[in-house]
């Protein structure tokens, strides 16, 4: 009796797996056929995308692909029969992020969070962060979560500054904040511009950050701020001028007013290859978390990959320059056999280098359906790489011809 029950359960499991694979296969085939139809100039692509929707309306791969490939008018047509049934992507294309968020749309949740964050609406941003279970490794998500009281206070000060009611102490707190955290410089400049006439260093620096860095005015402002011994301006001066052999005068300013400029100096030396004074520079790079990227770059080129990997891991944990860090980590992970660790670490990453992660997952996967899903997902950020992977998987002559032509376009 027990044996019969076990066999029955096993059969049910096998049938369930077969049914899933069958539905998944059709769903992915319809998306692929839509892409092929679109690139071949046929008019059937909407039909194929509609079939994919009928096969699996609760999966967001389809919506990401169509949003990436179709023009706005075509998107309106595609979503017109799917209102409130497509994970909020119907609202997302119209930038109605609130309604899209209410439908659980992850892209809208992040867009709304960033909108609130850069508008100094930190309480609303934090509300999204906590209630929508946002999963992101980017700095602006981590820093608000860890420092919410400070951010909430600055939000109140910002509102006072708009009404010109902030005290001098509150203004100083605000100025310190905008120098140390990611902000929209245009918005900040609007509340600080009256202080330009007073030669206020922070106000002048924010104005500089809103200008084209190659302009005469921006260079004049930067040079003036350096002469006024303003630390952030000294760091900027070392950065934009790619200085790898500072004068005695500049070194003196760095030692007194801008110790963090040594990390930027280290980066410039690594880039130029001028490492004659590298030990002195390294001894002056402090333990500010933001410096670990520069140290990692030095380790990558002049020490060893494992040491560099650990430093890049630190940078990723803080969320600094995350796209660049993902690029470096992926490269090292392949060389030292840390691919699985890297993929686990970056499971929440959705930046411009996501295709690198997808390609690594593709290469490690043994399942054809999984590889196809990954390749189609890759189309959103890197069509050339996606076409190469799909060409490898394809046995259909029409598809092979299309992918071959697409790859020729990118040569």
Q: What share of the chain is helix, strand, coil (3-state, %, to 5)?
A: 75, 0, 25
d(CA 265, CA 243): 7
Q: Which of 319, 324, 322, 283 is nearest to 300 (CA)?
A: 324
Residue 275 CB burial class (10 angstroms; 0-12, 13-18, ≥19): middle
pLDDT single digits (tens) 249-260:
999 999 999 999
pLDDT of residue 181: 97
Give the separation between CA 98 and CA 298, rounded to whole angstroms.
Answer: 44
Q: Is the predicted pLDDT of residue 172 greater than 90, yes or no? A: yes
Write down the pLDDT at residue 69.
Answer: 96
Decide: helix, strand or coil at residue 319: coil
What's the pTM value of the predicted model, to 2 decimals? 0.90
Please tell me the distance from the alpha carbon of residue 297 to that of residue 266, in angstroms, as a whole number.
9
Q: Strand, helix or coil at 327?
A: helix
Q: b vs e for 330-342, b when ≥16 Cβ sit within 10 Å of the residue's Cβ?
A: bbbbeeeebbeeb
CB 173 within 8 A of CB 139: no
* Per-residue DSSP letter, 289: G
Contacts of 175 (CB under 8 A, 6+ apart): 192, 200, 202, 203
Contact 329, 296 (CB under 8 A): no
pLDDT digits (tens, 9 = 90+) for 116-148: 999 999 999 999 999 998 889 999 999 999 999
Q: Is the dihedral of CA 379, 383, 387, 389 positive or negative?
A: negative
pLDDT tens profile 22-39? 899 999 999 999 999 999
């Amino acid at each position: 009796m027990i044996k019969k029950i076990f066999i029955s359960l096993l059969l049910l499991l096998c049938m369930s797996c077969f049914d899933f694979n069958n539905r998944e296969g059709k769903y992915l085939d319809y998306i692929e056929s839509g892409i092929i139809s679109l690139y071949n100039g046929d008019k059937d692509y909407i039909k194929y995308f509609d079939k994919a929707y009928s096969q699996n309306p609760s999966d967001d791969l389809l919506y990401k692909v169509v949003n990436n490939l179709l023009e706005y008018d075509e998107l309106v047509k595609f979503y017109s029969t799917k209102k409130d049934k497509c994970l909020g992507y119907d609202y997302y294309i119209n930038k109605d992020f609130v309604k899209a968020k209410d439908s659980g749309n992850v892209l809208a949740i992040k867009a709304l969070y960033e909108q609130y964050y850069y508008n100094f609406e930190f309480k609303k941003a934090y509300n999204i962060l906590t209630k929508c279970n946002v999963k992101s490794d980017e700095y602006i998500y981590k820093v608000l979560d860890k420092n919410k009281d400070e951010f909430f206070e600055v939000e109140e000060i910002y509102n006072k500054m708009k009404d010109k009611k902030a005290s001098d102490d509150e203004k100083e707190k605000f100025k310190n904040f905008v120098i140390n955290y990611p902000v929209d410089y245009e918005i900040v400049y609007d509340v600080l511009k009256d202080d330009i006439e007073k030669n206020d260093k922070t106000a002048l620096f924010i104005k500089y950050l809103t200008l084209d860095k190659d302009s005469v005015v921006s260079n004049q402002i930067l040079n003036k701020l350096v002469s006024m011994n303003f630390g952030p301006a000294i760091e900027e001066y070392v950065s934009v001028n790619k200085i790898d052999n500072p004068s005695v005068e500049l070194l003196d300013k760095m030692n007194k007013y801008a110790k963090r400029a040594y990390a930027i100096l280290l980066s410039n030396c690594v880039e130029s290859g001028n490492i004659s004074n590298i030990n002195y520079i390294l001894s002056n790079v402090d333990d500010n978390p933001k410096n670990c990227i520069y140290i990692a770059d030095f380790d990558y080129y002049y020490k060893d990959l494992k040491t560099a990997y650990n430093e890049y891991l630190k940078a990723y944990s803080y969320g600094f320059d995350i796209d660049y860090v993902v690029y470096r980590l992926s490269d090292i992970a392949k060389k030292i056999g840390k691919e699985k660790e890297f993929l686990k670490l970056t499971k929440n990453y959705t930046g411009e280098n996501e295709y690198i992660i997808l390609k690594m997952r593709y290469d490690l996967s043994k399942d054809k359906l999984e590889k196809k899903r990954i390749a189609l997902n890759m189309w959103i950020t890197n069509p050339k790489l996606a076409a190469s992977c799909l060409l490898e998987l394809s046995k259909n002559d029409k598809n092979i011809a299309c992918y071959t032509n697409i790859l020729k376009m990118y040569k």
